[in-house]
Amino acid sequence: MPEPINHVHRITTDSYVCNTLRSADVKKPDVDVLCKVISSLRIVDEPFKELHDFRAECTGAFPMSQLGIMKLNDILHMYVCAYQNPLVWKEVWKRIAPMLSHQVIRDVETFIAKNPFNFEAVLNIFNK
């Protein structure tokens, strides 16, 4: 799995920030900030392959009524949520997605175990 730190240079070129992040060990991520950043993501390009796969594999436990009103941006938010720190991803998910059940947890954990996070695509969305 690629290290997130390898992609920091795509967000900032500040060497001080890069070095600090390299040595930083975040034990308890701030859920509020994560939710704020994830909720602000908007996709304006063709969705990447992993997003389609995520939709197909991880939304099976959702009721049809909720799937009907779910937009592409919502799927993107859930995709990014799923790859957050294992300590907090469920908390972040609960704040962003309409539901979290045992089946959803199983689906998401299976998905993230076999699919690496698409840093390239998500960082492109960040930088738009």
Partner 1 sequence: MASESIDHFIKFCTDANIDPSHHRDSVRKYVLAYQRNLERKNAFKVMFGDVFINWEYTDRGLPRMDAAHWINVLKYFDFSSVEVQPKSILCSIQHRLKTLGLNADPNFACRVFLLTNMNFIASQLGLERLFCEYEIPDAYNKSLRFFALGADTAFDVLLTTGMFCLIMDECKVDEAEVEKQIQFLKLREEELSNSFKVKQIRAMNGRPRLRSKLADVKRDINSVEVCVIFLLRICIFLTFCTGHGRLRQVGPGGEVSERLFHAHQAPSLFSDGADACAGADQSRSSDYHGLVCV
Query: Is-contact 9 127, C-beta < 8 A?
Result: no
Determine if 65 is a binding residue for partner 1 (CB under 8 A). no
Cα first-last separation, the chain: 25
Determine if 42 is a binding residue for partner 1 (CB under 8 A). yes
Instruction: Please identify which residue in 44, 64, 65, 102 interacts with partner 1, judged by CB under 8 A.
Output: 44
Characterize 39-77 residue by residue with b for buried, 16 or more Cβ atoms within 10 angstroms of its Cβ, and e for exposed. Answer: eeeebeeeebebbeebbeebbeebeeeeeeebeeebbbb
Least separation, in Å, of the C-beta of 81 and partner 1? 18
Determine if 3 is a binding residue for partner 1 (CB under 8 A). no
Stretch that binds partner 1, among 9-17, 48-56, 70-78, 108-116 (CB under 8 A): 70-78
Q: Which residues make up the interface to partner 1 (CB under 8 A)?
A: 42-46, 69, 71-73, 128
